């Protein structure tokens, strides 16, 4: 009888172990990530923060709401590459989201290599996606075969098989088609000039992919690179890439008006926003707490400057 | 022979009772199989050429040679040829005819028979290689391995699970001798390790006079010297280019290391500051040092302007000295292309190299192809029959100069696999074949690349634990510049 119970227990634990092998597809939706993240979190965990920022980007809220949460520079978008599987995953996700397909592929590869499991299914999925985007179908097929053998991933893998050797099908796929449009015709050396210059190339090539410019502006703001941010607005505002300014960009445009009078107006910022900026300034000047502006770029840069 | 033949016939009898297959019609389609072993030329001592059926779900394969017949049924879509039976069919100088039948509507429908040509020329029994993720920057589990080509047995030479997951690379043998070899470990426990006369020596090879520690090696046939490049290597990643990765040098020179005296030496012509010299190799008689040389453009911006020529310089092994005249064997200025990894056939007749549009690291260039120059008369061989649609690079010769093995990305565009081809005494090549595996799934599923294949005449036998112990605990011998 005891033997029987032990066997049952063993079988149960084996079953549990097997179920845990390989993450199930899409463990959390971006909305769930955002909901689970408290906007009162003051301790910064870059991995968690990068998930949050990714979720904001994927739901089209990055440039509007990035400063609703405690931020820690652009490391909260692109975590430092410490050659771990976890950092590789976060980076692959971020580059994928911003439309930098080649670097997303690179980091997916690194993450899979560094993973102690033989296969990191989520990163193999990314390798399938990126290779389909590039039209590298033979190696995409290899990865589809490999992913299909991972518990819980067969359906996902098979979903990609129909896209093999079919450019039209890849282009019609809502996700892959959008990413393919981000692959610039003219090759550049990734990241040698900095991620910002790569993003600019992606934006110029595919101005309709707004995530790229949201990332670009937010990275500048998180790193307080105001000159570069202004250059970005000067080039892209009013174009298809940036027809109007999201909240954080508008806030930054108000600040830029300190050195370029009337800049906020030229950038289409509302009078209401500019009034708020002046209120923020006067509170600071009068020694009042500007806490009601905690969710603005102004507050972020004030905090950074005080560090 | 007499003992085994009766074993084959009963197998045929047993299976033939169960199958019905008509004679193939003249216009019958070719069989869809993997690997493509149709019309290939193989050495008589190669392992069985197992293959899979890439059409239908069930099939039979009939192997025929010299009146013998072997009938195999697919197991999970694959034909697994028994090693002892294969030996009876792989007769030197003969031809095996293979007829594949695919099960359709309960019957085996024959496909067009194809030959496998068995050469009279044997091949080395072993090949050494590194298995590594064909990646960008990181590595995790990697190692140097040796594979018996006469069977499917693969054993580790050295793996990084014993040395704190460090990187190891650039294994090189003196004229395919498994008892005289070297390789590097990088990062933790770094150093160059020489296995010679039954002992292991660790070297610290960076000198004040050289750009870097020793990098790409080639043994002198005497075993007294090893030519190396020293390189300041970098890499970057493309955004759109299908080549993905660009590995390049900022600077490089060529030096020769004196194994017994722990000294490196060079020549002003091999350390020209206006040029980059790399990928050295000796002629089989040891009197000439071949290497690649290019003008030094501004890097990385000028990466597409890097075009290596193949040059040679006399080498005097008695005096450990170099000649003062450089010959250009392949002139990149004239071809407009780029040549790397010169390797001379052991009979001294042919110079085999990788040709690509530009750059240093041919294996990352999809246009990289193997080329050959007949050193007897200068004839240029394009080797069209052996090059594939993707990168072909890193090649080595068998001791009898009749076989070459190289790494090719032709199967999926990324994971390199080893291909072998026969080259006759006039430089004529036969259709290459993928190094056979026990299961063909191996090559499809393995997420590692085969890297730097080198024929060896037997297995490397140093003790891996002793090697690891030396790597971790031996301070190593400092190499000096002469």
- pLDDT tens, position by position, B340-369: 999 999 999 999 999 999 999 999 999 999
Q: Where are the domains of chain A?
A: 30-180, 195-306
pTM of the model: 0.92
Out of A213-222, B10-19, B118-127, least confident range: B10-19
Compare CB distances from A110 to B138, B241, B447 and report the shortest one's residue: B138
| Lowest-confidence pick of A17-21, A254-258, B81-85, B248-252 | A17-21
Number of other CB atoms surrounding residue A285 within 10 Å: 8
Strands B338-344 and B350-356 come out as antiparallel
* CB pair distance less than 8 Å for A189 and B240: no
A-chain residues near B358 (CB < 8 A): none
Q: Considering CB atoms only, which of A110, A115, A187 is closest to B135?
A: A110
Contact yes or no for B246/B234 (Cβ under 8 A): no
Measured between CB atoms, which of B133, B135, B413 is closest to A139? B413
Q: What is the pLDDT of residue B20?
A: 72
**Separation CA B214–CA B203 (nearest Å):** 10
Measured distance CA(A190)–CA(A197) in Å, rounded? 9
Nearest CA-CA distance, residue A139 and chain B, Å: 5
SS3 state of residue A259: coil
Distance (Å) from the alpha carbon of A43 to chain B's nearest alpha carbon: 30
Contact A145 B237 (CB under 8 A): no
Chosen from A99, A104, A113 to mutate, greatest number of chain B CBs within 10 A: A113
Measured in angstroms, the CA of A41 and the nearest CA of chain B are apart by 33
Q: How far is B199 from chain A (nearest CA, A)?
A: 34
Of the candidates B301, B240, B364, the one whose C-alpha atom is nearest the C-alpha of residue A198 is B240
Pick the CATH number of B126-473 from 1.10.1040.50, 2.70.98.30, 2.120.10.30, 3.30.40.230: 2.120.10.30
Residue A73 predicted with pLDDT over 70:
yes
For residue B364, which residues of chain A lie inside 8 Å, CB to CB?
none
Q: Say if the Cβ atoms of A190 and B246 lie within 8 Å.
A: no
Residue A12 has pLDDT above 90, yes or no: no
Kindly give the interhelix angle for A85-98 and A46-58, rounded to the nearest 10 degrees: 20
Which residues touch B4 (CB under 8 Å, ≥6 apart)? B84, B85, B87, B88
Q: Domain ranges for chain B, please list them.
A: 5-118, 126-473
Above pLDDT 90, what percent of chain A? 82
CATH number for domain B5-118, candidates 2.50.20, 1.10.1060, 2.60.40, 3.30.479: 2.60.40
pLDDT at residue B24, rounded to an integer: 85
Residues 6+ positions from B252 with CB-CB distance below 8 Å: B211, B229, B230, B231, B232, B276, B277, B278
Which of A113, A138, A198 shows the shortest C-beta gap to B139? A113
Q: Using CA atoms, how far apart are residues A1 and A150, in angstroms rounded to an integer?
A: 35
Reply yes or no on whether the pLDDT at A15 is more than 50.
no
> How far is Cα A62 from Cα A52, in angstroms, rounded to an integer?
9
Strands B321-322 and B199-204: unpaired
Query: Can B5-118 and B126-473 be said to share one CATH topology?
Result: no
Is the per-residue pLDDT at B18 higher than 60? Answer: no
B-contacting residues of A 272-301, CB under 8 Å? Answer: none
Choose from B132, B133, B138, B250 for mutation: most chain A CBs within 10 A: B138
- The chain B residues in contact with chain A (CB within 8 A) are 133, 135-140, 236-242, 244, 246, 300, 411-415, 444-445, 447
Query: Two tokens at B459?
Result: 């297995």
The residue of chain A nearest to residue B140, with distances taken between CA atoms, is A114
Number of inter-chain CB pairs under 8 A, A vs B: 83
pLDDT tens digits, A92-139: 999 999 999 999 999 999 999 999 998 999 999 999 999 999 999 999
What is the b/e burial string over B246-274, where b = at least 16 CB atoms within 10 angstroms of the residue's CB?
bbbbebbbbbbbbbeebbbbbbebbbbee
Q: Would you say residue B8 has pLDDT above 50?
A: no
* CB < 8 Å to B76, chain A: none
CA proximity to A234, closest of A247, A249, A219? A249
3-state secondary structure of A139: helix
Asked if A190 reaches chain B (Cβ–Cβ under 8 Å), the answer is yes
As a whole number, mean pLDDT of residues A52-60 equals: 97
In contact, A83 and A61? CB cutoff 8 Å: no
ipTM for the predicted complex comes to 0.91
Chain A closest-CA separation from residue B327 CA (Å): 35
Taking a C-beta distance cutoff of 8 angstroms, is the pair B167, B185 a contact?
yes
Cα–Cα distance measured from residue B124 to residue A69, given in angstroms and rounded to the nearest whole number: 65
Nearest CA-CA distance, residue B436 and chain A, Å:
19
Q: Which CATH fold topology does A30-180 show?
A: 1.25.40
Distance from CA of A197 to the nearest CA of B (A): 12
Write the DSSP symbol of residue B161. Answer: G
For residue B140, how many other CB atoms are within 10 A of its CB? 17
Q: State how far the Cα of A135 lies from the Cα of A140, in Å rounded to an integer.
A: 8
pLDDT of the residue at A28: 77
Vertex A62: Cα angle to A59 and A68 (nearest 5): 115
Contact call for A102 and B415, based on CB within 8 A: no
Residue B225 scores a pLDDT above 80:
yes
d(CA B199, CA B357): 42
Inter-CA distances, A306 with A226, A228, A302, A303, B127, Å: 17, 22, 6, 5, 63
Q: Is A197 helix (H, G, I), strand (E, B) or coil?
A: helix
| Inter-chain residue contact A136 with B444, CB threshold 8 Å | no
Residues of chain B with C-beta less than 8 angstroms from the C-beta of A110: 135-138
Dihedral in degrees, nearest 10, Cα atoms A38, A44, A49, A50: 180
The order of strands in the sheet holding B51-53 is B33-34, B51-53, B78-79
Selecting from B138, B139, B239 the residue whose C-beta is nearest the C-beta of A190 gives: B239
Q: Looking at chain B, which residue has its C-alpha nearest residue A198?
A: B239
pLDDT score, position B347: 98
Contact between residue B161 and residue B120 where contact means Cβ atoms under 8 Å apart:
no
Mean pLDDT of A54-68: 97
User: Token pair for residue B329?
Assistant: 């064997």
Q: Which residues contact A245 (CB under 8 A, 6 or more apart)?
A: A233, A237, A253, A267, A268, A269
Average pLDDT of chain B to the nearest whole number = 94
Residues of chain B positioned with their CB less than 8 A from the CB of A194:
none
For B441-474, write each residue's pLDDT tens digit: 999 999 999 999 999 999 999 999 999 999 999 9
Q: What is the pLDDT of residue B377?
A: 96
CA-based nearest residue to B128, from B154, B146, B114: B146
A83 to chain B nearest CA, in Å? 7
A17 touches chain B (CB under 8 A): no
């Amino acid at each position: 009888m005891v033997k029987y119970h032990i066997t049952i227990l063993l079988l149960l634990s084996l079953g549990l172990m097997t179920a845990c092998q390989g993450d199930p597809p899409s463990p959390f939706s971006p909305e769930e990530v955002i909901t689970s993240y408290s906007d009162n979190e003051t301790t910064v965990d870059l991995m968690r923060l990068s998930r949050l920022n990714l979720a904001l980007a994927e739901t089209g809220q990055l440039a509007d709401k990035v400063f609703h949460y405690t931020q820690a520079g652009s490391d909260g978008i692109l975590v430092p590459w410490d050659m771990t599987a976890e950092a590789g995953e976060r980076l692959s996700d971020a580059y994928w989201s911003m439309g930098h397909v080649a670097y997303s592929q690179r980091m997916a590869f690194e993450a899979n290599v560094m993973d102690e499991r033989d296969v990191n299914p989520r990163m193999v999925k990314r390798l399938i996606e990126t290779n389909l985007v590039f039209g590298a179908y033979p190696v995409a097929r290899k990865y589809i075969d490999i992913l299909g053998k991972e518990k819980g991933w067969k359906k996902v893998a098979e979903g990609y098989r129909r896209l093999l050797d079919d450019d039209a099908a890849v282009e019609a796929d809502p996700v892959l088609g959008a990413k393919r449009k981000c692959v610039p015709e003219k090759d550049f050396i990734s990241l040698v000039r900095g991620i910002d210059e790569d993003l600019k190339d992606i934006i110029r090539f595919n101005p309709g992919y707004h995530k790229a410019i949201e990332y670009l502006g937010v990275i500048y703001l998180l790193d307080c690179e105001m000159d570069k941010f202004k250059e970005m607005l000067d080039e892209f505002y009013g174009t298809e890439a940036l027809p109007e300014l999201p909240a954080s960009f508008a806030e930054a445009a108000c600040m830029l008006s300190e050195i370029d009078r009337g800049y906020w107006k030229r950038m289409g910022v509302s009078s209401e926003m500019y009034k708020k900026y002046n209120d923020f300034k006067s509170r600071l000047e009068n020694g009042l707490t500007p806490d009601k502006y905690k969710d603005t770029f102004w507050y972020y840069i004030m905090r950074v400057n005080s560090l | 022979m007499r003992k085994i033949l009766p074993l084959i016939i009963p197998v045929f009898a047993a299976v033939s009772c169960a199958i019905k297959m008509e004679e193939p019609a003249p216009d019958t389609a070719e069989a869809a199989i993997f690997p493509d072993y149709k019309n290939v030329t193989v050495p008589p001592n190669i392992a069985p050429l197992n293959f899979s059926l890439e059409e239908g779900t069930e099939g039979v394969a009939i192997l025929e040679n010299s009146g013998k017949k072997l009938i195999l049924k697919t197991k999970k879509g694959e034909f697994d040829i028994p090693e002892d039976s294969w030996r009876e069919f792989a007769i030197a100088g003969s031809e095996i005819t293979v007829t594949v039948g695919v099960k359709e509507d309960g019957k085996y429908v024959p496909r067009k028979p194809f030959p496998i040509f068995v050469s009279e020329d044997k091949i080395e029994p072993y090949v050494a290689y590194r298995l590594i993720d064909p990646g960008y920057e990181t590595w995790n589990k990697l190692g140097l391995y040796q594979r018996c080509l006469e069977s499917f047995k693969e054993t580790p030479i050295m793996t990084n699970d014993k040395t704190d997951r460090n990187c190891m690379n650039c294994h090189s043998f003196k004229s395919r001798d498994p008892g005289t070899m070297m390789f590097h470990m990088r990062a933790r426990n770094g150093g160059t390790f020489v296995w010679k006369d039954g002992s292991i020596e660790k070297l610290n090879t960076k000198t004040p006079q050289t750009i870097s520690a020793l990098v790409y090696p080639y043994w002198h046939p005497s075993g007294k010297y090893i030519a190396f490049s020293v390189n300041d290597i970098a890499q970057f990643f493309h955004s759109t280019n299908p080549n993905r990765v660009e590995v390049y040098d900022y600077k490089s020179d060529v030096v020769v290391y004196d194994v017994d005296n722990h000294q490196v030496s060079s020549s002003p012509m091999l350390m020209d500051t206006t040029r980059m010299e790399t990928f050295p190799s000796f002629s089989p008689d040891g009197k000439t040092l071949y290497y690649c040389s290019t003008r030094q453009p501004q890097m990385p911006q000028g990466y597409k302007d890097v075009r290596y020529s193949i040059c040679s310089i006399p080498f005097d092994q008695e005096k450990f000295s170099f000649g003062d005249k450089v010959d250009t064997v392949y002139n990149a200025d004239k071809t407009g292309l780029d040549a790397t990894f010169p390797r001379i056939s052991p009979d001294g007749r042919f110079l085999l190299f990788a040709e690509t549009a530009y750059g240093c690291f041919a294996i990352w260039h999809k246009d990289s192809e193997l080329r050959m120059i007949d050193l007897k008369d200068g004839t240029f061989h394009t080797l069209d029959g052996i090059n594939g649609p993707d990168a072909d690079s890193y090649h080595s010769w068998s001791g009898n100069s009749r076989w070459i093995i190289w790494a090719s990305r032709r199967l999926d565009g990324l994971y390199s696999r080893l291909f072998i081809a026969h080259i006759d005494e006039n430089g004529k090549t036969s259709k290459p074949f993928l190094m056979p595996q026990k299961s063909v799934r191996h090559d499809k599923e393995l997420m590692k690349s085969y890297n730097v294949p080198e024929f060896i005449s037997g297995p490397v036998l140093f003790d891996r634990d002793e090697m690891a112990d030396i790597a971790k605990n031996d301070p190593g011998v400092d190499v000096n510049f002469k």
